[in-house]
Amino acid sequence: MGYDELANKIAYLSKPDQQLVRHAFLFAQKCHEGQVRNTGEPYVQHAIAAAGTIADLHLDAKTVAAALLHDTCEDTDLTLNDLRKEFGREIANLVDGVTKLSKIRITTKWLFVKEKEQLAEYDRQIETLRKMFVAMSSDIRVVILKLADRLHNMQTLDGVPKEKRYRIAKETLAIYAPLAYRLGMGEVKGKLEDLAFPYVYPEEYAALKKKAAGRLVEKERYILQFKKKILAKLYKDGIKGQIHGRTKHMYSLWRKLQRYDNDLSHIYDLVALRIIVNSVEECYKALGIIHNNWKPLVGRIKDYIAMPKPNGYRSIHTTVFGPGGEIVEIQIRSKEMHEQAEFGIAAHWHYSEKKGGIDYLLRKVSRAPKKELVWVNELAKWQKAVGDNKEMESDLGMDFFSDRIFVYTPTGDVKDLPIGATPIDFAYAVHTDLGNHVGGAKVNGKMVDLAHELKRGDIVDIIKKKNASPKRDWLEFAKTSLARGKIKSQIKGK
């Protein structure tokens, strides 16, 4: 993709905003001059692709500009200060945020976990990484930028050295796609998963492709015929809708098959029909028309308009016996719902206003119609979960993350602790037994006092001593309720 294509995509922006994007492009082009990606294309192509995704989501000009500039500080001599001077604080902060997020990685230790006992701990690690991802993004646009960046990296993953591909694809499946889902960005989520699938599960992917190929062709042909029949019926009743045949994403098909005994004939939405109409009223009217003509399957009607999914997804789903008795899933939604389902958070939020901060979004929730912003509520809940509710008072207006720090074990695992936490809190967060036998602690390689206050990003190494045990004075500096509870029960036991 060249700049011309991006220029077309940003037609929704004002003239001065388009100029800002062009300025950012020229600047990025100069910064990356002579740099080539592993794929052999000029580096700036990557920046343009990321910016294209942001423009597709119709985000504000500053976010598009930040996408163009997102790697300028990382891979060149340019500093954040230079960027601030040229483009102002807001854009520089977005770029800085994206750079920081690059540090969130699955450590090698967890990449190939298979044993059951370890999987529970793996899940906890991954969930912490996801939370950290959002916690480190003071501005929600940073998360979206990082998703756009990852999307293009996945599209060009073949250019990356082979040994790196697995980790990148695995992170995409474990962290990035679920984030996109939680932000309601269905389209990005589906793309990320399908791009990662062949790298993480190559054999399963090949087998599924072979298995589904014939059935897919058959079904697509059938759907095309059915679509014409439905269109005619809708038209007769005055509904001018659009109908798309929608092939299920491979990765979500694979996941679904595992729940259905691997039996393809039980998957009714292999190719689904999606009807897009103009209003909520027409959605229900269309549903009536469909059921009137083709018998619905019992128990398969889901009204996500009356009851949206937690991430804000709205549509009506039904499954009917189509012509010839073939079972077909049909999704009905309005144009607005469709945009929201594809673009999620971005569709809700066009950032016409200056601030994009999470706390700003959250404040907005209290004033917005509830059903339209379910996702924000969900995001708020999720972010609240980062903080320990027992330990801190939180309300929607505050920044939940200013009270948390993330520190590392010597093997790179992440622990999420409140500000002011000490090596004692850390030890109990790792394991009760470790907490009960703290003999000493090293932070970033240096011995420290047990009352030492941990800082964001510290690497903490607890020295375990068999005969050590909790002391009463630990209660004077242990911060978490977990550690305090364990210490008290140990002291009592003596």
CB closer to Mn ion, 142 vs 277: 142
Stretch in the footprint of Mn ion (CB under 5 A) among 71-79, 83-91, 258-266, 308-316: 71-79
CB of residue 153 to Mn ion, shortest distance in Å: 6
CB of residue 47 to Mn ion, shortest distance in Å: 7
x/- string (CB under 5 A) for Mn ion, residues 248-277?
------------------------------
Among 60, 90, 96, 149, which residue interacts with Mn ion (rule: CB under 5 A)? 149
Name residues contacting Mn ion, limited to 305-344 (CB under 5 A): none
449 carries an active-site annotation:
no
Stretch in the footprint of Mn ion (CB under 5 A) among 11-19, 32-40, 68-76, 398-406: 68-76
CB closer to Mn ion, 48 vs 316: 48
The residue annotated as part of the active site, out of 5, 33, 41, 75, is: 75
Residues whose CB falls within 8 Å of the CB of residue 489, separated by 6 or more in sequence, listed in order:
none
CB of residue 11 to Mn ion, shortest distance in Å: 25
CB of residue 71 to Mn ion, shortest distance in Å: 4
CB closer to Mn ion, 98 vs 134: 98
74 carries an active-site annotation:
yes
Residue least distant from Mn ion (Cβ): 149
CB closer to Mn ion, 5 vs 74: 74
CB of residue 426 to Mn ion, shortest distance in Å: 32
Among 45, 51, 60, 71, which residue interacts with Mn ion (rule: CB under 5 A)? 71
CB closer to Mn ion, 53 vs 125: 53
Distances (CA, A) of 211 to 218, 267, 269: 13, 13, 16
Q: If binding means CB under 5 A, how many residues of this protein chain bind Mn ion?
A: 2
Name residues contacting Mn ion, limited to 394-433 (CB under 5 A): none
- Strand-strand pairing, 327-334 and 316-321: antiparallel
CB of residue 67 to Mn ion, shortest distance in Å: 9
Q: In terms of C-beta density within 10 A (0-12 exposed, 13-18 middle, 19 or more buried), how is residue 478 classed?
A: buried
Stretch in the footprint of Mn ion (CB under 5 A) among 34-42, 65-73, 129-137, 425-433: 65-73
CB closer to Mn ion, 50 vs 287: 50
Name residues contacting Mn ion, limited to 99-138 (CB under 5 A): none
Stretch in the footprint of Mn ion (CB under 5 A) among 63-71, 134-142, 412-420, 481-489: 63-71
Stretch in the footprint of Mn ion (CB under 5 A) among 12-20, 115-123, 149-157, 259-267: 149-157
Distances (CA, A) of 259 to 202, 252, 275, 320: 20, 11, 27, 21
CB of residue 149 to Mn ion, shortest distance in Å: 4
CB closer to Mn ion, 149 vs 359: 149
CB closer to Mn ion, 149 vs 269: 149
CB of residue 294 to Mn ion, shortest distance in Å: 47
The residue annotated as part of the active site, out of 5, 33, 74, 473, is: 74
CB of residue 146 to Mn ion, shortest distance in Å: 9
Report the 3 state secondary structure along the chain.
CCHHHHHHHHHHCCHHHHHHHHHHHHHHHHHCCCCECCCCCECHHHHHHHHHHHHHCCCCHHHHHHHHHCCHHHHCCCCHHHHHHHHCHHHHHHHHHHHHHCCCCCCHHHHCCCCHHHHHHHHHHHHHHHHHHHHCCCEHHHHHHHHHHHHHHHHCHHHCCHHHHHHHHHHHHHHHHHHHHHCCCHHHHHHHHHHHHHHHCHHHHHHHHHHHHHHHHHHHHHHHHHHHHHHHHHHHCCCCCEEEEEECCHHHHHHHHHHCCCCHHHCCCCEEEEEEECCHHHHHHHHHHHHHHCCECCCCCEECCCCCCCCCCCCEEEEEECHHHCEEEEEEEEHHHHHHHHHCHHHHCCCCCCCCEHHHHHHHHCCCCHHHHHHHHHHHHHHHHHCCCCCCCCCCCCCHHHHEEEEECCCCCEEEEECCCCHHHHHHHHCHHHHHCEEEEEECCEEECCCCCCCCCCEEEEEECCCCCCCHHHHHCCCCHHHHHHHHHHHHCC
Stretch in the footprint of Mn ion (CB under 5 A) among 34-42, 142-150, 377-385, 398-406: 142-150
CB closer to Mn ion, 74 vs 121: 74
Residues whose CB falls within 8 Å of the CB of residue 79, separated by 6 or more in sequence, listed in order:
73
The residues assigned a catalytic role are 74-75
**Positions in the binding site for Mn ion (CB under 5 A):** 71, 149
